Structure 1
Amino acid sequence: MARSTNRSAKDGDSRVDPRELSLEEVLKSYEQPINEEQAWAMCYQCCSWLRVPRPATVTGGVYRVKDPSSILLLRDGTVSPKQESDDTDGPPLPPITERQLVQSLGVAIYQALDWGLDDSEERELSPQLERLIERMAGGNHSLQADSGGGNGTTDEGYSGQEEEEEEGEKGAIRPVCTFSQVMTLCTSRLANPALAPEHYQAVCRALFVETLELQTFLIKIRNAKEMLKKINGEDPQEDQAEIDALKHTDWTRLWVQLMKELRQGVKLKKVQEHEFDTLPTEFSLTPFEMLMQDIRTRKFQLRKVMEDGDIPTRVKRNAHEFILDFIRSRPPLKPASERNLAPPPQEQQSLHERVLAEIKQERKLKPVDSPGSKRYLHLAGKTESAIGKQLGLQKSTVGAIIRKWKTYKTTDNLPRSGAPRKISPSGVKMITRTVSKNPRTTRGDLVKDLQRAGTKVTKPTISNSLRCQGLKSCSARRVPLLKKAHIHACLKFANKHLNDSEDNWVKVLWSDETKMELFGINSTRRVWRRRNAAYDPKNTIPTVKHGGGNIMLWGCFSAKGTGQLHRIKGTMDGAMYRQILGENLFPSARALKMGRGWVLQYDNDPKHTIKATKEWLKKKHIKVLEWPSQSPDLNPIEHLWRELKVQVAKRHSRNLNDLDKICKEEWDKIPPEMCANLVTTTRNYKKCLNSVIANKGFSTKY
Structure 2
Amino acid sequence: MTQKITREHQRAQCIALRKVDSSYRAIATDVGISKTSVQRALEIFEEIGGFRDRSRSGRPKKLNERNVRMLKPLAKDDDNRSSARELMVKLNESLDKPICRRTIINYLQKCGYEYKIKIEKPFLNKENRKARLQWCLEHSNWTVDEWKKVLFSDESTFYVIKRKSETKIWRTKDEQWKEGCMAVAATGGGGRVGFWSVITWQGTGCFRVYSENTNSDVYCDILDNYLVPTLQLYGLEDNFMFQHDSARYHTSKQTDGKLQELNVKVLKWPAKSPDLNPIEHLWSIIDNKLKSRRMCSVKDLTDGLSAEWLSITQELCEKLVFSMPQRIQKCIAVNGKCIDY
Could you tell me the TM-score, scaled by structure 2's length? 0.78
Q: CA deviation at 1:372?
A: 7.5
Amino acid at match of 1:431: L
Q: Which has the higher contact order (CA 8 A, sep 6+)?
A: 2
C-alpha change, 1:644 and 1:592, in structure 2 (3 Å) is farther
Question: How has the CA–CA distance of structure 1 residues 427 and 685 changed in structure 2, closer, same or farther, with 3 Å as cutoff?
Answer: same
User: Aligned match of 1:418 in 46, 58, 78?
Assistant: 58
| Cα distance in 2 for residues equivalent to 1:506 and 1:433 | 45
Map of 1:447 onto structure 2: 88
Aligned match for 1:551, one of 174, 182, 193: 193
Cα distance between partner residues in 1 of 2:131 and 2:224: 29
RMSD value over aligned CA atoms? Answer: 3.1
Among candidates 484, 491, 494, match of residue 136 of structure 2: 494
More deviation, 631-640/608-617: 608-617
The partner residue of 2:74 within 407, 421, 434 is 434
Pairing 1:508-523 to 2, within 5 Å after superposition: 508-518=150-160
Kindly indicate whether residue 338 of structure 2 is the aligned counterpart of residue 699 of structure 1: yes
Greater strand fraction, Structure 1 or Structure 2: 2
TM-fit CA distance, 1:507: 0.6
Amino acid in the other structure paired with 1:408: I
Change in Cα spacing, 1:372 to 1:404, as seen in structure 2 (3 Å) is closer
2: CA distance, partners of 1:651 / 1:471: 33
2:56 partner SS: coil
1:578 aligns with 2:217: no
User: Cα gap change, 1:435/1:546 in structure 2, threshold over 3 Å: closer, same or farther?
Assistant: closer
Measure, in 1, the Cα distance between the counterparts of 2:221 and 2:197: 14
**Paired residue type of 1:594:** L
Task: State the identity as a percent.
Answer: 27
User: How far apart, CA to CA, are the structure 2 residues paired with 1:557 and 1:501?
Assistant: 18
In 1: Cα distance, 2:270 partner to 2:11 partner: 86
Distance 1:620 1:405 in 2: 95
Q: Trace 1:276-355 onto structure 2 (pairs within 5 A).
A: none
Structure 2 counterpart of 1:687, one-letter code: Q
Alpha-carbon distance in structure 2 between the residues aligned to 1:452 and 1:647: 46
Structure 2 equivalent of residue 403 of structure 1: 43
Shift of 1:657: 4.8
Residue 605 of structure 1 is matched in structure 2 by 247
Decide whether aligned partners of structure 1 residues 442 and 523 sit closer, same or farther in structure 2, where only a CA change above 3 A counts. Answer: closer
Distance 1:523 1:666, change over 3 A: farther
Corresponding residue SS for 2:245: coil
- 2:124 aligned to which of 477, 482, 493: 482
Task: Determine the structure 2 residue equivalent to 1:386.
Answer: 26
Corresponding residue SS for 1:429: helix
When residues 520 and 648 of structure 1 are mapped into structure 2, their CA distance, relative to the original with a 3 A threshold, is: farther
Q: Separation in 2 of the partners of 1:372 and 1:428? A: 44
The match for 1:189 is none
3-state secondary structure, aligned to 2:76: helix
Q: What does the per-residue CA deviation read over 1:395-424, in whole Å, with 9 as the maximum and x for residues that have no partner?
A: 222222212222222222343221111112
| Cα deviation, residue 696, structure 1 | 4.3
Q: Mark the CA change 1:420 to 1:427 in structure 2 (over 3 Å): closer, same or farther.
A: same
Deviations 1:496-541 (A, max 9, x none): 33332111111101111122334589899xxxxxxxxxxxxxxxxx
Query: Aligned partners of 2:325 and 2:10: how far apart in 1?
Result: 73
Equivalents in 2 of 1:370, 1:431: separation in Å? 48
Contact 1:520/1:645 (8 A) holds in 2: no
Inter-CA distance 414–618: structure 2 relative to 1 (3 Å threshold): same
SS of equivalent to 2:21: coil
CA distance in 1, matches of 2:163, 2:291: 7
Q: Where do 1:616-631 residues align within 5 Å? A: 616-618=258-260, 620-631=262-273
Which one-letter code corresponds to 1:413 in the other structure? D
1:668 Cα deviation from its structure 2 partner: 3.6
CA pair 661-467 structure 1, distance change in 2 beyond 3 A? closer
Shift of 1:679: 1.0
2:112 is equivalent to residue 473 of structure 1: no
Whichever of the two has the greater Rg, that structure is 1
Where 1:670 maps in the other structure, the secondary structure is: coil
Matched residue SS, 1:373: helix
Cα distance between partner residues in 2 of 1:562 and 1:599: 16
Amino acid paired to 1:686: P
The answer as to whether partners of 2:162 and 2:189 remain within 8 angstroms in 1 is no
What stretches of structure 2 of length at least 5 have no aligned partner?
A: 1-8, 167-187
**Contact preservation (8 Å) 1:521, 1:646:** no
Distance across 2 between alignment mates of 1:393 and 1:613 = 92
Q: How many angstroms apart in 2 are the aligned matches of 1:403 and 1:660?
A: 77
SS in 1 for 2:29: helix
Q: Distance in 1 between matches of 2:163 and 2:71?
A: 37
Describe how 1:542-691 pairs up with structure 2 within 5 A. 546-547=189-190, 549-618=191-260, 620-646=262-288, 652=294, 655-657=297-299, 659-660=301-302, 663-680=305-322, 684-691=323-330
Q: In structure 2, what is the Cα distance between the partners aligned to 1:411 and 1:668?
A: 70
In structure 2, distance between residues paired with 1:662 and 1:478: 24
Asked if structure 2 preserves the Cα contact closer than 8 Å seen for 1:512 and 1:602, the reply is yes
Distance 1:434 1:594, change over 3 A: same
Change (3 A) 1:628 1:378: same
Relative to structure 1, is the Cα distance of residues 423 and 518 closer, same or farther in structure 2, using a 3 angstrom cutoff? Answer: closer
**CA contact 2:157–2:192 (8 Å) conserved in 1:** yes
* Structure 1 residues 350-381: Cα deviation after superposition (integer angstroms, max 9, x where no partner): xxxxxxxxxxxxxxxxxxx9997222112212
| Equivalent position SS for 1:448 | helix
Q: CA deviation at 1:488?
A: 2.7
> 1:288-334 deviations in whole A, cap 9, x for unaligned?
xxxxxxxxxxxxxxxxxxxxxxxxxxxxxxxxxxxxxxxxxxxxxxx
Between 628-637 and 662-671, the greater mean CA deviation after superposition: 662-671
Q: CA deviation at 1:632?
A: 1.2
Task: Look up the SS of the partner of 1:472 in the other structure.
Answer: strand
Match of 2:105 among 459, 463, 476: 463
Q: Distance between the aligned counterparts of 1:642 and 1:467, measured in 2?
A: 28
Which secondary structure does the structure 2 equivalent of 1:491 belong to?
Answer: helix
Length, aligned pairs only: 310
What is the TM-score when the length of structure 1 is the normalising length? Answer: 0.40
Residue type of the partner of 1:382?
S
1:599 Cα deviation (Å)? 0.5
